[in-house]
Amino acid sequence: MLKLNVKDETSKLEALVLGTAISNGGVPAPEEAYDPKSLEHILAGTYPSEADMIAEMKAFASVFEKYGITVYRPEIIPNYNQIFSRDIAFVIDDFFIRSNILPRREKELIAITEVMEMIAPEKIVTPPEEVHIEGGDVMLWNDHIFVGTYKGSDYPDQITARTNIHGVQFLRDFFPGKKIKEFDLVKSATEARDNALHLDCCFQPVGKDKGIIYPGGFNNPDDYEYLLKLFGRENLFHITRDEMYYMYSNVFSIDTDVVVSERNFTRLNNWLRQQGFTVEEVPYAEISKQEGLFRCSTMPLIRS
């Protein structure tokens, strides 16, 4: 049995689910796009090839191998996108919480049945139907749970709105001992530079007291100020609108002092090294064309 344990974003990683790009299904039709960045590349003829994405995920997987981390992979479903395992479920403490994801993606959860069978049934939680919540919007930070959401009245029509206020309330009810802080995110179905698809597209902690942040990703300036006060300005690396677009905040921590980052993120990677981090640089620019990067591709199961 798997003894789940995830209490933050940066403690030493022991086991995770990593998505797969094998048999990815080719270039989607424009109407099948889940987000504006994918749509942009579909229309421009620059959508990533399966071969390139497989190579990038292999490079990512090699980092986990280097650090002796146990990696589980989904069962391969022919012609189906299974890269972004963060969306389909997430672990808080020792609970495995299934996401109520877009109906077209339900098979992704079925593909990790073998992993779920290693988890005690009473630790698997299925939220009520009205609860929409995805792992990219849920971020653990000691006694905090940060939750990205969207409060606009057009939520039902906004495909980029993935976690609703019912999702926030569900976490409040389920984890009464935690400080649940929701963040109303900027959404756009047409302009990727103005779309924080998930919270980890505009903010993510690194190390023990630092973070990466894009102030323009928050609808309410008070939400940005909250993080500024909590972490301290000197501990936050501020990214630009273009850097948000290229997913600078979507790195992935495998320990409090080790961060996996895209090899082209020169400004960020230099800052991380100046702060004392080991930076494992991986090519992931093709996968990022689907508006997801390292954190999106992972589902941590055990951190020690």
Q: What are the sequence ranges of the domains in the chain?
A: 13-303
Q: Would the pLDDT of 222 be above 80? A: yes
- Residue predicted with more confidence, 35 or 67: 67
CA gap 156, 168 in Å, rounded: 16
Amino acid at 304: S
44 class by beta-carbon count within 10 Å (0-12 exposed, 13-18 middle, 19+ buried): exposed
Q: Strand ranges (DSSP E) for the chain?
A: 13-18, 70-72, 89-92, 95-98, 124-125, 138-141, 144-149, 179-184, 203-206, 210-213, 236-238, 252-255, 258-262, 278-282, 298-303
- What rounded mean pLDDT belongs to the chain? 95
Superfamily assignment of 13-303 in CATH? L-arginine/glycine Amidinotransferase; Chain A (3.75.10.10)
Residue whose C-alpha is closest to residue 76's, from 68, 63, 66, 85 = 85
Mean pLDDT of the 212-235 span = 98
Q: What is the pLDDT of residue 238?
A: 98
b/e burial code for range 70-104 (CB count within 10 A of at least 16 → b): eebbbeebeebbbbbbbbbbbbbebbbbebbbeee
What predicted TM-score, i.e. pTM, was given to this entire model? 0.95
How many angstroms separate the first and last alpha carbons of the chain? 16
Tell me the pLDDT tens digit for each residue of 193-202: 999 989 999 9
- In sequence order, which residues have a C-beta less than 8 Å from that of residue 3 and are 6 or more positions away? 94, 302
In this predicted structure, the answer to whether residue 187 has a pLDDT above a threshold of 90 is: yes
**pLDDT for residue 216:** 97
What share of the chain has pLDDT > 70, as a percent? 98
Q: 242 CB contacts (<8 Å, ≥6 apart)?
A: 193
Mean pLDDT is lowest, of 16-30, 47-61, 90-104, for 90-104
Q: How confident is the model at residue 162 (pLDDT cuts 50, 70, 90)?
A: confident
Contact 188, 152 (CB under 8 A): no
Both tokens assigned to 142: 């000691």
Within 143-276, residue ranges assigned H as helices are 165-174, 221-231, 241-245, 266-274
Q: What is the mean pLDDT of residues 179-187?
A: 97
Lowest-pLDDT range of 22-26, 48-52, 273-277, 298-302: 22-26
Q: So what's the pLDDT on residue 156?
A: 67
For residue 303, the cross-strand partners are 13
